Structure 1
Amino acid sequence: MPPRSEDVPVSTLKIVPPPNRSPAQNGSLWLKDKHKTDGAEGLWRIHDGLYDVSGFIKNHPGGPEWLEVTKGTDITEAFEVHHLNSHPEELLKKFYVRDAKTKRNSPFTFKDDGFYRTLKREVKTILQTLPKQPINTSAFFTDFLLVGTFFFSILATIYWNYWLAILAGLFLGCVVIASHNYFHQKDNFRMLYFNLSLMQTSEWRISHVLSHHLHTNTIDDMEITMNEPFLQFLPHEKTTFLRFGYYLYFPLYWITAFHANYLKRVIYIAKGDTSLIQWYDFVPYTLPLAMYFVGGQSLLATLWMWTFIVIVGSFHFSAVGLNAAHHHPDIFHDGDTPRSDTDYDWGLSQLDAIMDRNEITGSHFLVLTNFGDHALHHMFPTLDHGTLELLYPALKKVCQQFNVDLRMVSQLELIKGSFTQLTRIQPNPNPPNLLKKY
């Protein structure tokens, strides 16, 4: 979304893509664009203040990477959402430099009496009594899926059995989704499981955590634009092929997602983007190496079986991820008419851009491996997935207070809605109706 001025009502906001946007953008390009538009002047911008936290990077409890990659950008949403107590706000005062010269390039607000901060206060009281068992259970499930991925991959190689390979691929898809629980948190070893997919944790911390989570379904959401031209979720003029072709080629798209992300990263590295090279880039190859040394097959045969397993995992990951919460004709996408609130509360923007699945909520395992409890995860991404279920009473209370609701639909409704959204060429003239029943 473009910046808002005092004399421009929210309902007139239109899609204005920055000039350097391209369908194949990566995290580095997205950050460069923010350097130009955020008015952070080479520092870290939070609301209308500029801060220099250079001396705090190594001491940052969440790990240095978060501050290193965001220097020179507006991190208001990240700061608000990733810190659930008042201590960071007090600490931040030590690093204040000056006020920013320009208005924020984001339409979202965090008023003390607004939806999100009200909900955050309610959740803060719950955090004091949250049990540790759900966190331990998430870790057990994630480690179990990792072991299962290696176990069935090796068995598939030994017995050259494609049914075992399919099972290994399903374990791979699940462990990749489960590890997503961890790369939102402070640096930890389980976030590295994600790299078995051939995708990369650091890149996804930008495209998914900093971009998608904080600017959901807007032009600043990389997950909206990075899949173009094949997936065009925003409502605008499209060719007939782009509107309806997905019905034909989606299986091919789903099975190649992991390899396509890997290939794109290799291309950018070849062009000189060394930020995409990380010390843990060896992780994806630990699986084929284990298959080769234990499986007893030739190197070429092992690589073929590994490729097949990755394809299955990619299909599962894509089928779940692309239909998890964000794409339906009734969900807000940039270009649609947003809510007419004078102050566009960030928490309400998340409810506008999300629908949750009633089949997933309530099952710890399904929530962890299917991007479940999606609205609460977006609003409190650093909390373990296993604890999100305990936050629903607070969410329900605050929703009633603001006369809104979390839309719960079936998985089938979201899958159908996702395909339908791709065919939309006209923006929705009505703001999202959060009280509509499905």
Structure 2
Amino acid sequence: MASPAKSFVEVGSGNHFPLENLPYGVFRPSEGGDPRPGVAIGDLVLDLSVIAAAGLFNGPLLSSSTCFSQASLNAFMALGRPAWKEARATLQKLLSVDEPTLRDNAPLRAKAFFPMSEVKMEVPAVIGDYTDFFSSKEHATNTGTIFRGPENALPANWLQIPIAYHGRASSVVISGTDIHRPRGQTTPPTGEKTPGFKPSGLLDFELEMAIFIGPGNELGSPVTVENAADHIFGFVLMNDWSARDIQKWEGVPLGPFLGKNFGTTISPWIVTLEALEPFICEAPVQDPAPLPYLTETKRTSYDIPLQVAIQPEGETKASVVCRSNFKYLYWTVSQQLAHHTINGCNLRSGDLLASGTISGPEPGSLGSFLEQSWAGTKFISLEHGGTRKFIQDGDDVIMSASCQGEGFTVGFGECRGKVLPCKPY
């Protein structure tokens, strides 16, 4: 059994950010200053602009790059996998317990490291476009059964294409941002023709993960399913907040709009594919076989345990309401990306592609309250008292994910948001 990598930075047992992880984010010091790229290590953030200014990114692909002096990660994302690997190798060496360059340079260390408690995290990229897929067979079957009955649970095309909708990039927010309850039109009350207009009474979470695009593709030039991984910079956790009553009324014929675009929360740290390599696993078998452009030579996914907890206002403890896993997804991220571009659509660095709600086969793995309460027909008991059918004002929704390796943990931190009352109209 290989020993876990050692850093001169203290990384406690179970910490999400050991030397094996090194996720990227964008932060600014709490006392002020411009946003800048950073890497998480233990309970610290390493300022990559300081490391770059010191000339420590001295490899052939990064020595002359200004990507770490930017206010977002877009420029670094655009450089591609060879540059990402060069940066990772440099950082793992600089942070290792046996490397003196940073370890023994006290002035540089004082300038380069910030406690996580003393930084403010930002959305890590300028997101030009955001697409949300619908890739969990269990979630699609559950929601289809709720709305159309078991005989018509899956749409006719669901097993043939990775279905998606175009989301709103401007309302993607970083973990810790409060979400105000949205208002909008709802289905007319029984016997009436005029729709309701009110704050949503059926506010929901959706447990998802999302990928950030690295290098884009030219307009008219699709990305193949086998080359898709070279366009994926890394993963974040995501909560696709959903107002189910607004969504139901507007959903025909064009699908989600105001029921979704009022807020989407992502975790601040982007975990790279290299960090997730130890957790590669088989993806679910697909039947029927997809068309050739979606057929993978080797179907793999990632074994990433996921969790959702609800902490009501005034409570000191959160209640776990869902335990799921990324590996349940029927359509892989490579298939999602290949399908997104097969018509010639051009993706750009920093674009965000989300998985859709990740539900599993067990009752405790359902990734939304819509499924757990079966459209509000039953209550969900919270671990520490109380019940829910949907999210109430004051609820803090906390998503987390972590993979357990041999003596180390690769985690994503938290994706959390508190629901506040609807603003006055």
The answer, yes or no, to whether TM exceeds 0.5 is: no
Question: Please, what TM-score do these two structures have when normalized by structure 1?
Answer: 0.25
Looking at secondary structure, tell me which structure has more helix per residue: 1
TM-score by length of 2: 0.25
